[in-house]
């Protein structure tokens, strides 16, 4: 046997996925609508979903929301929607023409070249293709592109556009970027100076410029071009049926940003605009999934009324009611306390959908608050616009000499709690359900004292939206404390989310093994070129080796893979140990391809783990922020991890493409896995550390020198030695 080089714990090449679906769903069929109905399945083809591309919608529908529309279309045909995936966008059209799918559900720009190959639905959006350059550049004319290099994917419509431009301006250079690198990552590379220029669609550019102030949009390379779904040319009946359905749904129509609407108009437009906050209690993005108590309730309300929900995040909490009255939204769903002061602003509250308490939040070590009188002389920080300010003002009137300090209006309650935990603020007041969320992931704060009971929360509408209010009230009356509501409440406010739940367990199993799944772990780690001990450390962090584990957001199995991610990798039953492990390791390999090969072996792995935990998009946001803060965007520990922590602060999250993230979780997640991995290295016998530097001994025990090697900055590789003498390769 040859020594297996464990520097491949990160891996140098990805395993091609091809078409990913369950075996029973894979068949070739080039027929039209009748064939689809006969099979009972509508096969929808997408690229493997990137959690980087799936950004947080602050106004508008989520990226890839079209898939929801296609699922509704399948239901209208009384067939099952089956989503298939390909690893690379260039595989989409060949798979369609080969009869492996019925519809390309990814957004495709309609170009002359593509139109010769396939048919398209009616367009549902138009974009222009634009140059992206650094702000110091000026790309206004074709001559400005002479001698410049444009980095793009060869499979994109941009490649065709730039090739045509080069005929007019031969001085243009084109760099083909690895297909697995997201467009947004190419944009970040332009900001860093790694690439000269790139091209993107105008709708994407608008979003990325928010997070990249050092970039600018240059000249338009095309006129407005339509975006649509792809069909086989012979699928005329399917095309006709789908076009009628798209027109009926109207979700794609351009809408005025500001208008006043009651229920009849909302039903006609088929869109409910929900004003909310990007926070852990209301609405956020995690592992590529849109989550939040308010979001899920509003999504259920919209589904029951056959309309679409559009989440809108104003700049500050104080803007919620202002935007509502200005007609920028139809309803506010943001854990607002029902109060006479707010109703006096010309709005109405729904029936209460939640009941909480207002509690004083202190550091865990603070044992000086036993009763209400102990608040005398203590500084309590809250937003002046919050109901907490009114509660504290009443306490002062009642004779409690509390010092009320104004916190900035753009701080979320969670951020104020963080400042209490760090010692920057003395105390604060928060709703009990917000504190409950905090306590599921941290142990440095506590609910010290209840200051107000029976605090009722409701949704808010304009006074002239009486019909909408009636619909919301009917929904709350039916759902409040019902089965679905209770499941949601438990999911967000009582389940333990903590990644520290397994921290005190021993490293070994007591039988010479480090996990009960060592055999299959070694097998799949080898297949995808990872160190099996690193996979074991991650598996323990995810599930504690329990194949039946289910997380608060629905992740399943040994590697806690989200069901949608599992399906995209070709797996359904994630609670089967081998499938759950295989899906997780395969997803790690997929994430690996989304990072530049130029990254160091160690840091690339830390980025992969952080992306596995929080989502690829949040990691790229953190790298972008690290660069802006003068930190190294290519190093995790002490650099990008610090930027990740900042993304839980509204100041930074509102500029991030993927918004708010509990940065503490991925930071601790990576650290815990690293520490356990190092413990496994020390535990497993017959390991040697072979520094690449020739001046060091070629064989030495890992546990005695690993820290020294790391400290002096040596690159190293760990190799596994069997009991026989073997030859290195």
Residues 6+ apart with CB under 8 A from 632: 626, 639, 640
Segment holding 626, helix H or strand E:
helix 616-628
Map residue 257 onto helix, strand or coil: coil
DSSP letters for 159-202: HHHHHHHHHH-TT-EEEEPPTTS-HHHHHHHHHHTSSSEEEEEH
Q: Which stretch of DSSP H or E encloses residue 670?
A: helix 664-683
Spatial separation of the C-alpha atoms in residues 450 and 432, rounded to whole Å: 9
Structure tokens at 489: 């409440």
Half-sphere exposure of 514 (CA within 13 A, CB side): 22
Rounded to whole angstroms, what are the CA distances from 192 to 185, 198, 205, 427? 10, 13, 16, 41
Across the strands, what pairs with 82? 43
- The DSSP result for 288-341, as a single string, is TEEE-HHHHHHHHHHHHTT-EEEEE--SSTTHHHHHHHHTS-SEEEEEEEP-HH
Instruction: Kindly state the tokens that stand for 609.
Output: 């783990």
Please tell me the distance from the alpha carbon of residue 121 to that of residue 244, in angstroms, as a whole number: 10
The three state secondary structure string of 102-144 is CEEEEEEECCHHHHHHCEECCCCEEECEEEEEECCCCCCCHHH
**Residues whose CB falls within 8 Å of the CB of residue 82, separated by 6 or more in sequence, listed in order:** 21, 25, 41, 42, 43, 44
Sequence-ordered alpha helix ranges (H) in 24-151:
33-39, 66-76, 92-97, 112-117
Tokens representing 121 are 């639905």
- Among this protein's residues, is 265 annotated catalytic? no
Q: Which of 310, 542, 641, 665 does the annotation list as catalytic? A: 542
The residue with tokens 């992931």 is 441
Distance of alpha carbon 537 from alpha carbon 507, whole angstroms: 9
Residue 624 three-state SS: helix
Residue 515, Cβ density class (10 Å: 0-12 exposed, 13-18 middle, ≥19 buried): buried
Instruction: Record the tokens describing residue 356, joined without a space.
Output: 């909480």
**Token duo for residue 671:** 């650290």
For residue 590, CA distances in Å to 333, 539, 547, 599 come to: 36, 17, 22, 16
Q: What phi, psi does 154 have (nearest 5°)?
A: -70, -25
Q: Which helix (H) or strand (E) holds 356?
A: strand 354-363
Tell me which H or E stretch contains 60. Answer: strand 59-60
Contact status, residue 120 vs residue 111, Cβ threshold 8 Å:
no
Q: Which two tokens stand for residue 353?
A: 């959908």
- Report the alpha-carbon distance of residue 584 to residue 581 in Å, rounded: 5
H-only helix segments in 497-559: 518-527, 532-543
Q: 450, 486, 481: which is closest to 351 by C-alpha?
A: 481
Nearest-Å Rg of the Cα atoms of the chain is 27
In what helix (H) or strand (E) does residue 688 lie, and over which residues does it extend? strand 687-691
CA 346 vs. chain centroid, Å, equals: 36
Q: Pick from 60, 87, 2: which is nearest to 526 by CA? A: 2
Please state whether 346 falls in left (phi above 0), alpha (psi between -120 and 50) or beta. left
Catalytic residues: 542
């Amino acid at each position: 046997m040859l020594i297996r080089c464990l520097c491949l714990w990160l891996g140098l090449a990805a395993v091609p996925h091809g078409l990913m679906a369950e075996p029973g769903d894979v068949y070739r069929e080039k027929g039209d609508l009748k064939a689809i109905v006969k099979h009972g399945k509508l096969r929808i083809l997408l690229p493997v979903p990137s959690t980087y591309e799936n950004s947080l919608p602050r106004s508008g529908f989520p990226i890839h929301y079209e898939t929801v529309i296609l699922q509704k279309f399948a239901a209208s045909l009384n067939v099952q929607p089956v989503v298939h995936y390909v690893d690379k966008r260039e595989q989409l059209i060949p798979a369609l023409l080969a009869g492996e799918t019925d519809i390309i559900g990814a957004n495709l720009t309609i170009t002359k070249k593509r139109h010769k190959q396939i048919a398209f639905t009616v367009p549902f959006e138009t974009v222009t293709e634009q140059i992206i350059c650094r702000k110091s550049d000026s790309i206004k004319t074709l001559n400005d592109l002479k001698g410049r290099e444009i980095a793009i994917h060869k499979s994109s419509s941009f490649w065709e556009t730039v090739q045509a431009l080069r005929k007019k301006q031969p001085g243009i250079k084109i760099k083909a970027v690895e297909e697995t690198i997201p467009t947004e990552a190419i944009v970040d590379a332009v900001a860093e100076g790694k690439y000269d220029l790139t091209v993107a669609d105008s709708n994407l550019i608008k979003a990325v410029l928010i997070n990249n102030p050092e970039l600018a949009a240059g000249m338009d390379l095309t006129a407005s071009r339509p975006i649509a779904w792809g069909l086989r040319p012979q699928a005329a009946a399917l095309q006709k049926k789908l076009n009628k359905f798209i027109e009926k749904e109207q979700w794609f129509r351009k809408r005025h940003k500001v208008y006043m609407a009651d229920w009849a108009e909302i039903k006609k437009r088929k869109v409910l605009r929900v004003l909310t906050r990007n926070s852990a209690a209301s609405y956020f993005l995690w592992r590529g999934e849109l989550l939040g108590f308010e979001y899920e309730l509003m999504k259920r309300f919209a589904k029951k009324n056959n309309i679409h929900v559009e989440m809108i995040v104003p700049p500050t909490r104080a803007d919620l009611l202002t935007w509502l009255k200005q007609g920028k939204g139809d309803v506010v769903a943001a854990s607002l306390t029902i109060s006479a002061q707010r109703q006096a602003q010309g709005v109405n509250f729904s029936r209460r959908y939640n009941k909480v308490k207002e509690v004083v939040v202190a550091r865990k070590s603070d044992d000086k608050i036993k009763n209400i009188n102990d608040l005398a002389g203590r500084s309590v920080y809250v937003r002046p616009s919050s109901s907490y300010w009114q509660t504290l003002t009443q306490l002062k009137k009642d004779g409690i000499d509390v010092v009320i300090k104004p916190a900035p209006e753009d701080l979320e309650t969670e951020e104020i709690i963080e400042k209490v935990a760090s010692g920057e603020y003395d105390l604060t007041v928060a709703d009990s359900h917000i504190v409950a969320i905090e306590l599921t992931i941290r142990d440095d704060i506590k609910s010290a004292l209840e200051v107000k009971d029976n605090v009722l929360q409701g949704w808010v509408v304009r006074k002239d939206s009486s019909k909408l209010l009636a619909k919301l009230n009917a929904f709350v009356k039916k759902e409040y404390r019902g089965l679905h509501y209770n499941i949601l409440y438990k999911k967000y406010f009582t389940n333990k989310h903590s990644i520290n739940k397994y921290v005190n367990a021993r490293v070994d199993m007591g039988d010479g093994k480090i996990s009960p799944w060592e055999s299959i772990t070694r097998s799949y780690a080898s297949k995808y070129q990872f160190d099996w001990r690193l996979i074991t450390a991650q598996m323990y962090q995810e599930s504690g080796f329990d194949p039946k584990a289910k997380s608060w957001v629905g992740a399943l199995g040994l590697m806690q893979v989200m069901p949608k991610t599992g399906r995209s990798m070709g797996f359904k039953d994630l609670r089967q140990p081998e499938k759950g492990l295989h899906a997780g390791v395969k997803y790690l390999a997929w994430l690996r391809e989304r990072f530049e090969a130029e990254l160091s072996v160690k840091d690339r792995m830390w980025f992969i783990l952080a992306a596995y935990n929080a989502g690829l998009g949040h990691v790229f946001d953190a790298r972008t922020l690290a660069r802006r803060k003068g930190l190294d965007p290519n190093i995790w520990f002490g650099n990008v991890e610090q930027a990740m922590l900042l993304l839980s602060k509204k100041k930074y999250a509102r500029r991030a493409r993927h918004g708010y993230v509990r940065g503490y979780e991925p930071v601790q997640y990576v650290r815990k896995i690293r520490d356990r991995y190092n413990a496994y290295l020390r535990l497993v016998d017959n390991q040697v550390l072979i520094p690449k530097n020739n001046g060091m001994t070629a064989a030495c025990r890992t546990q005695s020198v690993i820290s020294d090697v790391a400290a002096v900055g040596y690159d190293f590789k760990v190799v596994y030695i069997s009991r026989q003498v073997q030859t290195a390769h």
